[in-house]
Structure 1
Amino acid sequence: MNNIHELGRQRAFELGNPFYSKHEDDGDYYRKELPTGEQYLVAVTIVTDDNDMPVKVEDTIIKKLSL
């Protein structure tokens, strides 16, 4: 299935969430895309509970990307 990336992006936007993706030329950072189309290069931290289950994604904006 070649469209998993697009399905995940669409679902994130349907839920009102940003979409995070990893690109080879971004180094250790992720791209954060908002439903408005704005994109940012961000550092991501996954916050987990006592059972190591993810509960929140925290990101720090490195820079705004112009595409």
Structure 2
Amino acid sequence: MHEMGRQRAFELGNPFYAKFEEDGGYYRKELPTGEKYLVTVEIVYDDNDMPIQIIDTIIRKLD
């Protein structure tokens, strides 16, 4: 499932977010270019509790 979601995000030109235990509670953001970052994530919802925006803050770049 993880790979299918990643592939679809990249097809749409979006970054892929995933949470791994080894990342200490942060999310891992992967760009279609292959760059990877540890980030914090804030999801903004509309009045109907539908997500409308993801705001991420980069903690550090992964090698």
Equivalences for residues 25-64 of structure 1 within 5 A: 25-64=22-61
Q: How far off is 1:27 after superposition?
A: 1.8
Q: What is the CA–CA distance in structure 1 between the aligned matches of 2:42 and 2:23, rounded to whole Å?
A: 16
| 2:4 is equivalent to residue 7 of structure 1 | yes
Q: How far off is 1:51 after superposition?
A: 1.2
Alignment size in residue pairs = 63
Cα deviation code 1:15-57 (max 9, x no counterpart): 0000000000112210000001000000000000011110011
Any gaps of 5 or more consecutive residues in structure 2? none
Query: Aligned-pair RMSD on alpha carbons?
Result: 0.5
Decide which structure has greater strand share: 2
SS in 2 for 1:51: coil
Q: What is the CA–CA distance in structure 2 between the aligned matches of 1:10 and 1:48, rounded to whole Å?
A: 25
TM-score by length of 1: 0.91
